[in-house]
Amino acid sequence: MQTGIANVPLHGGQCPSWLFEKMKQLGSAMVEAIVLEYGPSEILRRLSDPVWFQTFGSVLGFDWHSSGLTTVVCGALKEGLSKNQGELGVFFAGGKGKASRKTPLEIVEAGEKYGLSNDLVALQGTSRLVAKVDSAAVQDGYQLYHHFFVFDRAGNWAVIQQGMNEKNRYARRYHWLSENLQSFVEDPHSAVCGLPETDVLNLVYHDNKATRKASVALCRERPEQVSRIYQSIAAESYREPDNRQLSLFTENYGASSGHGLAAPMGGRLIMTMPKQHPIPSAKHLDKILYQLYERPPECYKSLLETPGVGPSTLRALAMVAEVTHGALPSFQDPVRYTFAHGGKDNYPFPVQRVDLTHSLAVLRTAITKAKLGEKDKLQAFKKLAQGEEQLMIPS
């Protein structure tokens, strides 16, 4: 399931080398402590929690409200734990930019290096599908540039990926977790936080089941027929807007009938497209329609996994599905919903290097003793956390 989304502003500058080194050391020590006490699956759960992840980055000393927290924390964990993956049973792949495209290769490399019995091909497919859902099925205006894939020996996995919106200069972080995952294409979001966007075509929202089903059915229709209907929609979209017309693919359907079609005016149906969603290329659509017709997908998941099927194809199919099948799309942005050592931009106060070093030393001592069978210090941390939770519970 997708456990969360977080929106954070873009910040300039780079993480200082001394801070990144401290983040690598302290972050690695904290992950080791969690794995020793709770097992590998627990670190996957925590990384998939957007609030925990944000707090984790803040504890490590990074800016609490910067988009760089995502990429820097993931990079610090990947580098800091590179030699301990086999011992911990937790493996890291992917990252920012070009590193994200190496994810499938790094999954296989980890399997070969550590002799994993996981279905590596399935993990590679999961990595691609998760990225496809957030880049193509959830059309929220954020272009993915970061994909971080974490998995354990049992085949459990978590994903942290991030996209950027060039217009508002915000980045949106998406968290995924394999545990309790029911479907990749219907309500994969469970605890989402961030700034809601308007006019988001979320094709994995449960109310869009009819749109998904009709889109798959259209792949079995003659491409010429689908293309003809689509082109007629595109032609109508350039007409002058009217108060009584249907503005297709917006949240305002006041003039719409129960089937998503506007009331005829003078014997004609007129629809107006919003400017922020340009009509997908008819030439590209023709090409992909023939590919889909020759090998029609069995379900929406298979449609998503088809090479060449991207946001424009899914949007075009949804548009035709509304006209031909009366499948009115629903627009629901998946978004719904600390400082321990300061931040690297000196906010809310400068990073306290002495405190960071002390925290690291205490944690390393606890980990060393825990490996020798002496878990007193780790248990003390656990009791301290439990005590804090009790203090936070209102009487």
Q: Are residues 91 and 131 in the same domain?
A: yes
Instruction: Using the 3D structure, point to which of 325, 348, 365 is the last residue of a domain.
Output: 325
Q: Are 2 and 54 in contact (CB under 8 A)?
A: no
Q: Are residues 192 and 296 in the same domain?
A: no
pLDDT tens readout for residues 228-246? 898 888 776 545 444 433 4
Q: Are residues 302 and 365 in the same domain?
A: no
Q: Are residues 34 and 112 in the same domain?
A: yes
pLDDT tens readout for residues 141-197? 889 999 999 999 999 999 998 888 888 777 888 899 999 899 999 988 655 555 677
Instruction: Using the 3D structure, point to which of 304, 325, 346 is the last residue of a domain.
Output: 325
Cα–Cα nearest to 192, from 170, 209, 208, 176 = 176
Q: Are 137 and 185 in contact (CB under 8 A)?
A: yes
Q: Tell me which residue range forms the domain holding 379.
A: 2-197+335-392
Q: How confident is the model at residue 338 (pLDDT cuts 50, 70, 90)?
A: very low
Q: Are 58 and 339 in contact (CB under 8 A)?
A: yes
pLDDT tens readout for residues 205-233? 999 999 999 999 999 999 999 998 988 88
Cα–Cα nearest to 4, from 162, 117, 225, 214 = 162
Q: Are residues 85 and 156 in the same domain?
A: yes
Instruction: Using the 3D structure, point to which of 279, 298, 325 is the last residue of a domain.
Output: 325
Cα–Cα nearest to 303, from 133, 139, 181, 122 = 133
How far is residue 99's CA from residue 75's CA, in Å, rounded to a whole number?
Answer: 10
pLDDT of res. 373:
63
Q: Are residues 218 and 298 in the same domain?
A: yes
Q: Are 137 and 131 in contact (CB under 8 A)?
A: no
Q: What is the mean pLDDT of residues 358-366?
A: 58
Query: What phi, psi does 296 have (nearest 5°)?
Result: -65, 135
Least confident residue range of 152-161, 190-199, 332-341, 380-389? 380-389
Q: Are residues 30 and 168 in the same domain?
A: yes
How far is residue 6's CA from residue 172's CA, in Å, rounded to a whole number?
Answer: 5
In a domain, 313, yes or no: yes
Q: Are residues 61 and 149 in the same domain?
A: yes
Report the DSSP beta bridge partners of residue 170: 9, 165
Q: Are residues 141 and 52 in the same domain?
A: yes
**pLDDT above 90: residue 3:** no
Q: Are residues 175 and 29 in the same domain?
A: yes
Task: Count CB atoms within 10 A of the CB of residue 131.
Answer: 21
Least confident residue range of 64-73, 123-132, 312-321? 64-73
Cα–Cα nearest to 216, from 331, 290, 296, 139 = 296
Between helix 376-392 and helix 17-38 the angle, nearest 10°, is 90
- In the three-class reduction of DSSP (H, G, I as helix; E, B as strand; rest coil), residue 246 is classed as strand
In a domain, 330, yes or no: no
Residue type (1 letter), 387: G
Q: Which two tokens stand for residue 4?
A: 């969360």
Q: Are residues 139 and 184 in the same domain?
A: yes
Structural domain total, the chain: 2
Q: Are residues 26 and 175 in the same domain?
A: yes
- Residues 6 or more apart whose CB falls under 8 angstroms from that of 167 comprise 141
In a domain, 77, yes or no: yes
Kind and range of the H or E element at 147? strand 143-152
